Amino acid sequence: MSDAAQPTAAEVRAAAEAVKAALDRHLAAVEGRSGDDDPAVYAAFNELAAAAEEYDELLYDRYDEVTPFEIPAGEEHVPYSGPAEPSVFSVLIRRDYVVAEPQRLIAQADRVAALDHDEPGDAGGTAHALGVLFGEYEPDEIASRNKEFGLSEGDSTLWIAIGEEAPEPGDWLNTPFDHADPGSVLHRFDVSSVFDDEFEDDEELEPLDS
């Protein structure tokens, strides 16, 4: 970056003051929270994350320095804008898997089919095997026993999305994930190996001088 494009010292100072103000607002929201899911706390958290990120970027651009802390869930998460007292909500879950051992998957499905029909099973290929296993086991059990079924876990996410009113039975079954407004997501929980990689990078220590 050229000197002309660098932020000024005053801009860095203003960003630091914005972080201080965001910290005060966050603490005030926490002290006055109305419950575990108070949207004011959630909003203050996002404001603090955005202010800290802005300060960190300006500090680096101006002085080639970084802050010693990191607040997750910055600009990637849309702030919650739904009601403070929701009466209807949906839990949206996505879990990705890789079929790491197809023969193990098929063998497990064959075993289930044999137990169900009291005769040698014939689960066919992996697609049919998945249908057999998910017909027998709850998704949470498959997640906890994925290696046993020849599967390797990928990313997963869980969203708690607030609704305006309860839908009629069967309304959304054909398109269950088409109507999730990011602004209606009160909480989300993400699991990914990329977070482990980032943590390992953060924890890497410089070698000691001999």
Decide: 106 and 126 in contact? Cβ < 8 Å.
yes
- Region 147-167: what's the mean pLDDT? 90
pLDDT digits (tens, 9 = 90+) for 182-195: 888 888 888 887 76
Question: Do the bridges between strand 151-163 and strand 185-191 make them parallel or antiparallel, or are there none, so unpaired?
Answer: antiparallel
**Which is higher by pLDDT, 194 or 94?**
94
| Residues 177, 140: Cα–Cα separation, whole Å | 19
- Region 30-50: what's the mean pLDDT? 83
What SS3 class is residue 149? helix
- Region 47-64: what's the mean pLDDT? 88
- Region 4-21: what's the mean pLDDT? 89
Per-residue pLDDT at 195: 67
Residue 85 has pLDDT above 90, yes or no: no
pTM to 2 decimals? 0.54
Neighbours of 25 (CB within 10 A): 17
What SS3 class is residue 71? coil
